[in-house]
Amino acid sequence: MISQLFLQHYWWIIVSILASLLVFLMFVQGGQSMIYSLPENSTQKTMIVNTMGRKWEFTFTTLVTFGGAFFASFPLFYATSFGGAYWVWIAILFSFTIQAIAYEFRSKPNNVLGQKTFDFFLFLNGSLGPFLIGVAVATFFTGAMFTLDQMNQVHWATHWYGLEALLNMRNLSLGFAVLFLARINGVLYIINTLDEEDLVKRSVKALITNSIPFLIFFLFFVICLLFSKGFAADPMTGTITIEKFKYIHNLIQMPVVLILFLLGVISVLYGIGITILRKSLSGIWFSGAGTVLTVFSLFLIAGFNETSFYPSLFDLQSSLTIRNASSSLFTLKTMMYVSFIIPLVIAYIWYAWKAINNNKITEAEMNSEEHKY
């Protein structure tokens, strides 16, 4: 007999996997954020845009599926965060909306707004998207200003509707860490897929300049996280209390998560290292896998081990946990059956990805391609 608690954990794992894949796939945004700084000429810019442009739908789809899965499995979070932290989510949506069309329209004649506008849209999405998603995820640890009434309906306690998250240093540091990580993965992907010597050289330089701020912001966030208070939930009563070093406790009490976290961080650093030191082209796979493991483990320490994954700073007892925010047993079970198809989805994505990425993208291909961004 499958229990609701098992399914709540199962679905938190699924949501965490989607979130970690999303952060990895934001290499597309990372690449976009560098379209003004990385290329030396318009051909190189076209190559970067087309390299990223062939993968933008994956990031976009993962974001939509992440939202849908959260809605289905933890609807109280969906209602609370989206309905309260309005401006953060609207800004994220806005940035992804302009991305989708920028690729398709930028190089088309008669596009009215001009190529420069659409390139700016790509830059805006590339910079703002990862940063804001990082800030939004940071509130899983730092909390938000809301209260829930007796009917579980959200009331936001500030008139900034989510923008107040930008005043918190820890939120900002994760936002910037995600942005620079996306940029690192972006250049690693360019190195892996483009056959253009000069651009690859410039990408290696960009890798160095982006790795330094990433490490600073990431370490700041992790150190703050480990030494900060956390929000613990009593499994019997559901009462939320403040617990010192909660996230260190989570890592110690869930050693597998600790190992995943360390493996993830090491893998990201290894991906960066072999690209800079050994001129390897495969850095993206190590960094990508590391990104997935790191984000996945961060989500697990946010939601597992009787932790509130969306704490309320205004009314502690309104804080959300995977127990009180989830769907019913029936819905979670139904969705679990649906989730069994995910390996098949991953398999065909892998197959199609390989088919398209078999050969490196060259300048000659850019000149002959009919469907060019």
Partner 1 sequence: MIGNIDMSLVDWSRAQFALTAVYHWLFVPLTLGLSFMLAIMETIYVKTGREEWKRITRFWMTLFGINFAIGIATGIILEFEFGTNWSNYSWFVGDIFGAPLAIEGILAFFLESTFVAVMFFGWNKVNKKFHLVSTWLVAVGANLSALWILVANAWMQHPVGMIFNPDTARNEMVNFWAVLFNQVAVDKFLHTISSGFLLASMFVLGISAWYLIRKREEQMAKKSILVAGVFGLLSSLMVAYTGDESARTVSKVQPVKFASMEALYEGKNNAGLIAFGVLKDTDKKIGEKKVKEFAFKIQIPGLLSVLTGGDRDAYVPGLKDHISGNEKLGIVSTAEKMQRGKYAREILTSYIKSRLNNDSAQISAIKGVFRDNDFQNKYFRYFGYASIEKPEDVIPNVTTSFYSFHLMVVLGFLFIMIFSVALYLLFKGTISDNRWFLWIALLSIPLPYIAGELGWLLTEIGRQPWIIQDMMTVSKAVSQISTGSVITTFILFAVLFTGLLISEVSIMIKQIKTGPKH
Site residues for partner 1, window 274-333 (CB under 8 A)? 327-328, 330-331
Contacting partner 1 (CB under 8 A), which of 6, 9, 43, 60?
60
Q: Which is nearer to partner 1, 98 or 181 (CB)?
A: 98
Q: Which region, judged by CB under 8 A, interacts with partner 1, from 70-78, 164-172, 214-222, 228-236?
A: 70-78
Q: Which is nearer to partner 1, 104 or 243 (CB)?
A: 104
DSSP single-letter state for residue 117: H
Cβ of residue 239: shortest distance to partner 1, in angstroms? 14
Cβ of residue 369: shortest distance to partner 1, in angstroms? 7
Q: Which is nearer to partner 1, 108 or 244 (CB)?
A: 108
Cβ of residue 210: shortest distance to partner 1, in angstroms? 26
Return the residues of window 94-113 that contact partner 1 according to CB under 8 A: 94, 96-101, 103-105, 108-113
Strand partners, 154: 148
C-beta of residue 133 within 8 angstroms of C-beta of residue 89:
no
Residue 234, interface with partner 1 (CB under 8 A)? no
Residues 6+ apart with CB under 8 A from 290: 263, 264, 265, 266, 267, 268, 269, 270, 271
Cβ of residue 340: shortest distance to partner 1, in angstroms? 10
Q: Which is nearer to partner 1, 150 or 255 (CB)?
A: 150
Return the residues of window 20-59 that contact partner 1 according to CB under 8 A: 54-55, 57-58
Return the residues of window 145-204 that contact partner 1 according to CB under 8 A: 150-156, 159, 161
Contacting partner 1 (CB under 8 A), which of 342, 360, 362, 367?
342
Which residue, 244, 10, 19, 29, is CA-closest to 123? 29
Task: Count the residues of the shown chain that bind partner 1, applying the rule CB under 8 A.
Answer: 77
* Distance, CA of 49 to CA of 207 (rounded, Å): 18
CB atoms closer than 10 angstroms to residue 238:
14
For residue 114, give Cα distances in angstroms to 119, 128, 181, 367. 9, 21, 30, 21
Contacting partner 1 (CB under 8 A), which of 23, 34, 76, 225?
76
Cβ of residue 63: shortest distance to partner 1, in angstroms? 7
What is the chain's Cα-based Rg?
Answer: 21
Is the dihedral angle over the CA atoms 128, 131, 133, 139 positive or is it negative?
negative
C-beta of residue 326 within 8 angstroms of C-beta of residue 4:
yes
Contacting partner 1 (CB under 8 A), which of 10, 78, 245, 270?
78
Cβ of residue 359: shortest distance to partner 1, in angstroms? 7
Contacting partner 1 (CB under 8 A), which of 39, 84, 134, 175?
84
Cβ of residue 191: shortest distance to partner 1, in angstroms? 20
Residue 236, interface with partner 1 (CB under 8 A)? no
C-beta of residue 333 within 8 angstroms of C-beta of residue 163:
no
For residue 106, give Cα distances in angstroms to 59, 93, 100, 101, 119. 19, 20, 11, 8, 7
How open is the CA angle 23-233-330, to the nearest 5 degrees?
A: 70
